[in-house]
With several copies, the nearest count.
Chain A
Amino acid sequence: MSSFTRSDLTDLFRAFAQRMAAERTLLGELDGEIGDADHGVAMADGFEAAARALANVEDENQTLGDGFTLAGQVLLNAVGATTGPLYASALTRAATTFGPVQEVPFDHLPALIPAIFEGVERRGHGKPGDKTMLDAWWPAAHVVTHESDSSSGTVECLRAAAQAAAKGAEDTRAMMASRGRAARLGPRSIGHLDPGAVSAAALLDVLASWAADHERLT
């Protein structure tokens, strides 16, 4: 069975960064509706910086844990906003999950999702239903930890998680924000998608596609 290596991590972040760059305008507009319009810039700049850092320091001794830690630190130092600390915390958590190893079996990859969920939750003190990115990460994490059995493949698991996240993001439309800038809007936030949930669902979509490509090629 194939593995997920430190250089795969760089590759995955390159894919994240590309997608965030592509979604930059949309995310800015969604944030403009209920926040301050900077979410596209924050996500695009943050993941670009992280991907570049991962590519730059890729050497033989780097472990997956080192890579996630690096990505988190760079994101934190590059972005600020709410996004910086939340995803930095998420990636630090992932560093612990993946640990000081050069590679993990490929079917460990879905564990990234609950790690990110827990990291964001711990830093932001939010909960599903607050109309935040947690509304995408939580259903995805739930798929990974509860609904996927070992018989179904890694890619299928990630696809299911991505679909759950997309639905979760869509569901934020009906929610009233109680965290972040949009909370100020109260009832007037209803009817708008949460930008952080949308970007989270996009990251999960990238993860599933990247894994599918990777499996096909190896």
Chain B
Amino acid sequence: MQRFINDPDDLVDETVAGFVKAHRDLVQKDPMNARVVTSRFAPQEGKVGIVTGGGSGHEPAFIGYTGRNMVDAVAVGELFSSPTAKSFADAIRAADGGAGVAVLYGNYAGDNMNVRMAKEMVTPEGIEVSTVVANDDVCSAPLTDREKRRGVAGEIFMWKIGGAKAALGGSLDEVIAVSQRAVDATRSVGVGLGPCTLPAVGHPNFQIAPGTMEVGIGHHGEPGTRVEPLKAADDVADDMLKIVLDDHDLPEGTEVVVLVSGLGATPINELYVLYDRLETGLEAAGLRVHRAFVGNYFTSLEMIGATLSVMALDDELKTLIDVECASPGMVVTG
């Protein structure tokens, strides 16, 4: 492992420590729980709190989306593991400004259970909690089983939209409704070209043979829908777009927001090569790109590969995606 680590058991704590130091203008550690990162601007009296959480190793997700007009508090799990129910509960407490808390997270069994238990813990304290579960990962289950699909990079859209709605004074019900609309309007797909290694394990926990690619790979290396010979970037982009658009029948003229995220070890110029082709394909399908994000937004340690997320906009989603925000992982200027 050619990696910058000390004791693998300390990796998450050291990541959080470095993160809150580097971004102290935006974030801080929860004094009560070292596995909770909160926005400097939270809680805000009368504002709906936005909470998320998930396993580590996806940086800048999840902690990186903490900040102004974004997420108020994040529960931090071990590498690729759901945070504890207690951390989710403490994140909810930290985000609560008296107007209720929206927990916007991804569809993994552990997260589902831990969030449910956290809600049970804080409800007696008088904190109103509602949840939205992102399930944007097309290849993780068929459309007929949509509620089984995982949440991946499209979660960032959910946070951006929910965070903006809360910032504009939306009620808990309104924040939940529009965040759910963001999820419903989002589809993602990942393509893996190389595996990743959990430092405590020491070797890759799955293999992608050189010369092949795994289409539909999950964020923890969960195998995809098919393994096939590695194609030219344009063909990969076409395949990704087809998977997303086939699943998501969008009327011509729809405006979309696009996110192309590297999985950790793919050179950034290649993400632009993919984006170049993707935008061409979107326009050929009669869609218009309102905004694009290209970079390492939601990684999986040093996995080689990329994800595509497309969110279809309605008027409100469009307004909200453009609302100014400042977080270490995403800044939108006014």
Contact = CB atoms under 8 A, between A and B. Distances in A.
A touches B (Cβ under 8 A):
yes
B84 A38 contact: no
A38 B117 contact: no
A143 B87 CA distance: 37
Interface in B191-205: 198, 200-201, 204-205
A80 B218 CA distance: 20
B84 A80 contact: yes
Contacts of A40: 201
Q: Which of B113, B114, B218 has the most CB of A within 10 A?
A: B113
Contacts of B85: 76-77, 80, 84-85, 88
B223 A184 contact: yes
A75 to B, nearest CB: 9
A36 B113 contact: no
Given A37-B198, A124-B113, A184 B84 contact: no
A35 interface: yes
Give the interface SS of chain B, mostly helix, strand, loop or mixed: loop
B3 to A, nearest CB: 15
Contacts of A42: 78, 81
Contacts of A180: 109
B117 A76 contact: yes
Contact of B78 (A29, A81, A88, A179): A81
B198 A85 contact: no
A1 B231 CA distance: 58
Interface residues of B, number: 34
Given A37-B80, A41-B78, A185-B222, A84 B109 contact: no
Contacts of A83: 110
B78 A38 contact: yes
A36 B78 contact: no
Contact of B200 (A41, A77, A85, A181): A41
Given A28-B198, A32-B201, A32-B206, A38 B113 contact: no
A108 interface: no
Given A36-B205, A84-B85, A123 B113 contact: yes
Interface of A: 25, 28-29, 31-33, 35-38, 40-42, 45, 76-86, 88, 123-124, 179-181, 183-185, 188
Given A36-B221, A88-B117, 10 more contacts: A29-B205, A37-B80, A37-B201, A41-B79, A76-B117, A79-B84, A80-B114, A81-B110, A84-B84, A124-B109
Interface of B: 55, 77-87, 108-110, 113-114, 116-117, 140-141, 148, 150, 198, 200-201, 204-206, 218, 220-223
